[in-house]
Amino acid sequence: MKRAGLFLIAVVPVVVAGSVCVSTAPSDGGRTEGSDKPAAGAPATPAPASPTPPNSSPSAASPTSSAPPAPPPSLADPGKKDLAQQLVASAENSTLDWRGAYGYIEDIGDGQGYTAGIIGFCTGTHDLLTLVETYTEDHPGNGLARYLPALRAVDGTDSHAGLDPGFTAAWKAEAERPAFRRAQDDKRDRVYFDPAVGRAQRDGLGVLGQFVYYDAMVYHGPGSTPTSFGGIRAEAMNRAATPARGGSEKTYLEAFLDVRRTAMTTMHPGTDTSRVDTAQRRFLNEGNLDLTTPLEWEVYGQTYRIPG
């Protein structure tokens, strides 16, 4: 997991965004915001209501019940979830076509080995290994299964030992199979998307806040260190109360983004932080807490738009 964004010395908007993967190893706890007068010409006193006809229910004659309120917007709603994937893809793969990234695989020189797939699973950070392991349990004999010994050996390192020269081609080929695409989706949802959205909802955050959590989970991993999602959230809560604790949603999200930006530059000084500065913070400054389209933002110097 995760790609940490481009370094300033290597920004090329049309090239896949560089990033840093964060370990999901168990040692880190797992990656693993009238009037009451009668109208003119109306009688001063309302006319008495007609009696309810015999054998009629009161509700039929004079309905008083109202429909239950609509649930608050959620990033898990299909349209919002697709929007979230486009936003992440703009930072992870320099594209809005997130479905085109299943077969992406590259060593981006961040010390985490190969980075691959829709959210940047990494050979050096455990999540790519567990993805292939789970996939192989369900689909024995797949094109990646033979690389499992090598993936276990290089886990936690940047080594390609046992993976070259065939692993990248095997990944791309397997990504053509719907089953492997579903496996990537399931891993994304189980480890990153669902936990981030659930935590944000419990913190009282709307759609933008849910996305802010999700993108941080993708980038930093769900551990508890100062530069992981759990540590970032804890420090943000030291600075501002969440809405669930009576705080202002905007104020809390400002604090969270401040802490996250610091975590990014602590991990890699010089890292491009535009996914926070000119994307998420832009939406927040515009007061777009529901991530309502149209949206316009900038990542790594490239402008993206999603129409209304």
Residue 62 neighbours by CB under 8 Å, 6+ apart = 49, 52
Name the pairing type of β-strands 121-122 and 115-116. antiparallel
* Annotated catalytic residue, options 28, 92, 174, 203: 92
In contact, 87 and 279? CB cutoff 8 Å: yes
Name the pairing type of β-strands 115-116 and 302-306. unpaired
CB hemisphere CA count around 98 (13 angstroms): 18
CA 284 to chain CA centroid, Å, is 16
* Annotated catalytic residue, options 33, 36, 107, 110: 110
> What is the H or E stretch that residue 221 is in?
none
For the question of residue 92 being annotated catalytic, the response is yes
* Helices (H) then strands (E): counts for the chain: 12, 5
For the question of residue 155 being annotated catalytic, the response is no
> What is the H or E stretch that residue 295 is in?
strand 295-299
In contact, 43 and 119? CB cutoff 8 Å: no
Query: Residue 5 is encoded by which pair of tokens?
Result: 């964004």
- Looking up tokens 């050996």 gives 153
What whole-number distance in Å separates Cα of residue 295 and Cα of residue 249? 20
Residue 285 neighbours by CB under 8 Å, 6+ apart = none
What whole-number distance in Å separates Cα of residue 302 and Cα of residue 308? 20
Instruction: List the catalytic residues.
Output: 92, 110
